[in-house]
Structure 1
């Protein structure tokens, strides 16, 4: 089915990116956003390098289970529009491919299956600070049809080169068709999520130990805990929206999804569910850590206030006595007695001693 011209829909996308030289050799080996383009027949890559149009012509010539895999990296509107018209893609798919989506998803457009998978990279850091970046996210859109699969990557990580090589060493898997690439992309992303979870576990454990290492609760900064929670929230937004569509794909598979792949999709959904459980656990744990930190700070402040109050009460005794004798009346008790001055000092010292002792017994000092 052919949709209206794609370039008209693509022009509606806002904001526009500045035009760049599509033939610049630094963009990709093919001199454009097309990073790789290859034809596969019976799961094996056909020799030779070709353009997208040439690959489509060869696939239609071979027929059968042959398909073309086109890899794009941050394509321009004009480039994607040309490819989209060649395969008859829906205009909404083109709009999502040009600008990164905000949520992971899996959509069905007539004879095409479209998935948006968020890529996540753990950012190494020597110490967690109030402005540390813990996770960095990108995106891979995969459009799988009957005889084609198009991958569109956004972000500085998540290269599909190693995945393509891995699949090319497994012809039986590629022979299952374009949807096998869609599943491989999702499965590799979920595998990365699990690795990021392990790294995040170390950060959460470090913060937890820092909070409870000192009974006064001042070794951990609340701003650091809050920053870790923000990064965990970004990770959660990247991974959790994909779980429900992936489970629906396994429970209600479309005709494009071969039967042998359904079990693998279900396995990937199970691994993603485990990731979501870890993320939810991290979120709840950081909430508890933050609350414990704030509670410990509050307790420490109360201890300081009790100490200040205790010393203020002790110092009130000599202040009161000196205030009384500083009124300069003629008829003051023991005013003319030789030992009056030492006696008053002794009374002050004994009173302060017993007050200090009482406060220490009560835990105020």
Structure 2
């Protein structure tokens, strides 16, 4: 009889060891608790983004850091990356803890039902997007990042290849800028639409099923080595377009899109945003100061740029109009002019005009 009891205990232990991972994966471990609430934050033209670390895979293997510890280490890096983009700002970690502190850390809770919990947390935080970093540990180790529009459900995902466990813990810390650049490029049209809706006080909408875009964590084209011939190309700095406050974030996104198109043309060497931000800080010049052409030229000289591109995004009647010009730093002469136009309410279509805008601006180079 005793042998039978012991056999049953061993069988029960074996079943538990097999079923525990499945319980976590299927979301049966424990119920979701009610979300907390925070006051509405001060108005800002930037898009609010929260950052959350979640885990998946076999819990028996464990992690060296808890999700909260990983968030504490990574949040300052995320904050710097988002701040330098001039498009987004990170939700304070204390606010995230207030709203979602009682929620499970298992990825399934956050991603099931079309990422319902992730979106509900975002709305409770008065956020526009959430960045979820999912750590997977099991027969293989990997990490992926999901940028989720909490209003429309659109998802932009960067998935890594299988990584050694030690690399997963440090992956985002070492690749935060590159990963954000990829997510930003993938989601640019969605971010632009969100910024325009926010600036105009419109409710975000989506037509049909939410988009879900997936790419691997490969380096962006601009991160690759330039050919030797590039050394002979003129250096060009593209400033963020001037705009009134409701359009300022959208203007930054459009300027970034223009940079990418100019880079694709291969006729110039571009000053990157990091160097531009650094020089602006050193010279104590804000983006608004670049509206003064003489000041813009001064910054161009500090950047060792022979050419600069400056422009303006504004409304004209029932249209949104983007104008840009290329200026020779040494002579301060206007070398090229270009413009793009879109109907109000459909300003995100300006993105489609960036290729033509870039082509006009590089004429004569």
TM-score, normalising length: structure 2: 0.23
More strand by share: 2
More helix by share: 1
TM-score, normalising length: structure 1: 0.23
Q: Which structure would you say has the larger Rg? A: 1
